[in-house]
Amino acid sequence: MRRNSRSARRSESRSTKLDPVAVAMRKVLRELGEDPGREGLARTPERVANSLRFLTRGYHQDVNKVLNDAFFHVAYDEMVIVKDIEVFSLCEHHLLPFFGRCHVAYIPNKRVIGLSKIPRLVDVFARRLQVQERLTNQIAATIMEMIAPQGVGVVIEARHLCMVMRGVEKQNSVAVTSAMLGVFRAKEQTRAEFLRLIRERA
């Protein structure tokens, strides 16, 4: 039995020696009181490493490349809204998921951004270790910088597993954050129109 255990540990070490995240995960499993060599957990460190890299791939994405110059000159100065964008991210405090919906609006100033690029932009920042407040601000600030619209509004509604599964353990709590720039901050009517439109269900 001991030989098998030693053999399993040697095999684990060889399989993870090139992946420091997987190596660290094996140590975490041992600290939690588990045997990372047992059948159900033998490949878990590698799976967790791959999962974490996928969930934080935004660190390695260039916003300019993601948007790919999808900016167009259009004689349009009414509000553009992309709502109900699915958001999945990891809370930087507990590494637990938070997820929900993101609503983005802007009023163009001679230029618009390709509609499909807005969800991609949201993902670039969501796929990092985040706090919801910063994520909201990053999306708004980037759109403001990229196309210099008259204003940008971003609202995120999300459930945080660090509140649902631990801590206060409130199953139905939703965190709502907003970032209002330009005319969305300066004009109450513009802001109110945005908030009304995102509440309307199709």
Q: Alpha-carbon distance 186 to 126, whole Å?
A: 27
Q: Alpha-carbon distance 87 to 25, whole Å?
A: 26
Is residue 103 part of the annotated active site? The answer reads no
Which two tokens mark 144?
Answer: 């403001």
86, 93, 133, 145: which one is catalytic? 93
**Number of neighbouring beta carbons within 10 Å of residue 96:** 15
Give strand pairing partners of 71.
113
**Number of neighbouring beta carbons within 10 Å of residue 114:** 13
86, 92, 133, 145: which one is catalytic? 92
| φ and ψ at residue 158, rounded to 5 degrees | -145, 150
Is residue 138 part of the annotated active site? The answer reads no
Question: Using CB atoms within 10 A of its CB, is residue 152 exposed (0-12), middle (13-18) or buried (19+)?
Answer: buried
34, 61, 157, 162: which one is catalytic? 162
Question: What does the angle CA 96 – CA 9 – CA 95 come to, to the nearest 5 degrees?
Answer: 5
12, 102, 138, 160: which one is catalytic? 160
12, 103, 130, 132: which one is catalytic? 132
34, 94, 157, 193: which one is catalytic? 94
Is residue 160 part of the annotated active site? The answer reads yes
Is residue 73 part of the annotated active site? The answer reads no
91, 102, 130, 150: which one is catalytic? 91
Question: Using CB atoms within 10 A of its CB, is residue 64 exposed (0-12), middle (13-18) or buried (19+)?
Answer: exposed
Q: Which residues are catalytic?
A: 91-94, 132, 160, 162
